[in-house]
């Protein structure tokens, strides 16, 4: 966490305690097509609370309190990148067929995202 604070000294640090995903994204994760999740928080820079985090599924547009735990993932790496710098490889690792599909999904999930917004890219392995 100190390294993150040093890298982003003017940003608040936001502790990530779980991942909430749509059922479609959870399916991609469980099938092995989704090896990352890309997160944005307009209030600061994210970091994981633990090395292993739960994954919850909830229908699109439903309140997060309705989410149900479906898996756990072990965080294997974290990197930070700007929204504009996302690549086709980022899209593929996140379970999307193209960069434009990834961009479209992120804009839907995070309507306040901007080209220079800093994103957290979590790479993980699903725990059995």
pLDDT of residue 110: 95
By residue range, what is the domain housing residue 15?
2-126
pLDDT of residue 5: 62
Q: How many domains does the chain have?
A: 1
CATH classification at residue 39? 3.10.400.10
Whether residue 1 is predicted with pLDDT greater than 80 in this model: the reply is: no
Note whether 20 and 58 are within 8 A (CB): yes
Mean of pLDDT over the chain: 93
pLDDT of residue 65: 86
DSSP summary character for residue 64: G
35: three-class secondary structure by DSSP: coil
Write out pLDDT tens, residues 41-94.
999 999 999 999 999 999 988 888 899 999 999 999 999 999 999 999 999 999
């Amino acid at each position: 966490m100190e390294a993150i604070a040093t890298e982003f000294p003017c940003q608040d640090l936001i502790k990530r305690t779980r991942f909430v995903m749509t059922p479609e994204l959870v399916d991609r994760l469980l099938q092995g097509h989704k090896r990352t999740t890309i997160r944005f928080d307009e209030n600061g820079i994210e970091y994981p609370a633990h090395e292993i985090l739960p994954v919850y599924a909830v229908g699109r547009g439903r309140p997060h309190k309705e989410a149900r735990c479906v898996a756990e993932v072990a965080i294997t790496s974290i990197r930070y990148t700007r929204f504009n710098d996302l690549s086709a490889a980022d899209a593929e690792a996140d379970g999307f067929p193209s960069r434009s599909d990834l961009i479209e999904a992120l804009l839907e999930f995070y309507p306040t995202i901007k080209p220079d917004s800093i994103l957290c890219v979590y790479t993980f392995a699903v725990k059995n």
